[in-house]
Structure 1
């Protein structure tokens, strides 16, 4: 008995639909790495296709089949890292949905990184949020694919404003104790003053054409290095001293973090074409205020290059 294909019938209201698909598809993504342990991501997928007015519905089960097919290829090392999972799915969706001209895939993942503390070398885990997406547009020959990869990382920031106030307080007290000015300057140069801290959440996402390679680890490194200091789940006393001292030696506003990210993106991804889209944001959760500090920038890498050249 041949079962009816209701999705292929004419709809009562005949209009095109921009996005039809499934959201919040939970998957465990395992990506093989040559000579290393595979990387595991706990992921949620949103998958969409466009639908012409001549069809009542899209074949939803094909979306699940494509995701599973690509994830199996990732396990086998046929997908070049988490960066290429979404664009591989987007391409294959066009093959499975012959009636669609456009496909879109979004992925939100949790990534557990194994790290060592800076002094004692104690091992601990760190959670990183990873986002990726891809849009594939049908073309006469190969599809046109635009993809993005990004991450959100937590670190610590120290406020430069309060630190400079405390620096003046300390200098005044040392003068009252008849300490020579050169000794005061030497002390304040070597011992950073107290200030209030924030837990910072940095986000960086890079959108490129399909033929460009943007490494997730490089994005994470930029985020970590753009705040006052890195943080760790477990700290021995020597590690704690190291983190606190370095954070206060590298005091940064929320604006400083975003600008530092932009500079590092331009330097570390100099090979990217000018139309690559860069999205940067930083949220600092204040310790002495009830609000959060926030800054962001969205620009092409060509625009960032031009601005940095003007000020160099």
Structure 2
């Protein structure tokens, strides 16, 4: 005796729904890496949605889990090239499993562990990176269109240029009162950066493409790390700590500077990506001497950034 399919019946209130699906589906994702014996491992949560026409009471949600597990098996075997590819393939297959849907959407947020080495003592340590992927598949008259994005959020340190200039002006006044020769004052400032207040910066970069393009996650992380005043590390020896503090204060940056530096590095790093690639950049600096946070953002196509930066 077959059970009735209640989901395929007509609803009492006949309106279409933009998103129907499941959220917070936790999975261990393994993505094969060319030339590597071990896959990249991501501890992940998925949100998976389809649209639903007004003629159906509900969506068959069990199909979402079936598709995710099928694609994750492909990823482990090396048939999937990146986490955005995981989302792209899931979103495409969902259209086949939900024949009534015209649009599917997949979100993936993950923890990714990276091995690091400190700058002076060369001590090994680890860092957890927050990574994100997203894909949308839409039916057309021909082949479905799939658009994917991949991004990461990275922490670093920034030093405030404004406070640093105030401290430099004060130090110069004190040195002049002590009758220190001007050339020695200049030599001191060339060697030793002035104190400033610091922030823990959180940089975010997302790259959205279509087709079979895969954006290396490592390049995204590198752009973010190089765009703040200095990199930070979980474990620091004394020499490492001195290096990080000096590096940050020799490279003082406002929150706006970080976003503009990201944009410049995106253009120089992703030279092979098409102009219609969408770029989202943002920086949040958690202030140390204020109760608020500083924030800056830029959204643009790669073609727009290239045009601006070529001037």
TM-score of the superposed pair, with normalisation by structure 1? 0.96
CA positional deviation for 1:45: 0.6
Equivalence for 2:108: 107
Structure 1 regions of 5+ residues with no counterpart?
none
Query: In the alignment, what sits opposite 1:126?
Result: 127
How far residue 133 of structure 1 moved from its aligned partner, in angstroms, is 0.3
Q: Which runs of 4+ in 1 moved over 4 A?
A: none
Q: Which residue of 2 aligns with 1:24?
A: 24
Q: Which moved more, 1:140-149 or 1:87-96?
A: 140-149
| Within-5 A mapping of 1:210-225 | 210-225=211-226
Q: Secondary structure at the match of 1:58?
A: coil
Write the mapping of 1:98-247 to structure 2, written as runs, cut at 5 A: 98-247=99-248
Aligned-residue Cα RMSD (Å) equals 1.2
Counterpart secondary structure, 1:299: strand
3-state SS in 2 of match to 1:63: helix
Give aligned pairs, total: 310
Whether the 8 Å contact between 1:83 and 1:215 is mirrored in structure 2 is no
* Distance of 1:167 and 1:302 partners within structure 2: 40
8 Å contact 2:84–2:135 — kept in the other structure?
no
CA offset digits 1:187-223 (Å, max 9, x no partner): 1011111111100000111111133221111111100
* CA positional deviation for 1:40: 1.3
Structure 2 gap ranges (5+): none
Tell me if 1:88 matches 2:89.
yes
Report the equivalent of 1:274: 275
Mapped contact 2:137–2:145 kept (Cα < 8 A): yes
Structure-2 residue corresponding to 1:303: 304
CA contact (8 A) 1:66 1:93 kept: yes
For the 8 Å contact 2:152–2:206, the answer to whether it is kept is: yes
Partner of 1:2: 2
Is the Cα contact below 8 Å between 1:46 and 1:106 reproduced in 2?
yes
Cα distance in 1 for residues equivalent to 2:308 and 2:117: 37
2:295 maps to 1:294: yes
TM-score when normalising by structure 2 = 0.96
Q: Distance in 1 between matches of 2:34 and 2:274?
A: 28
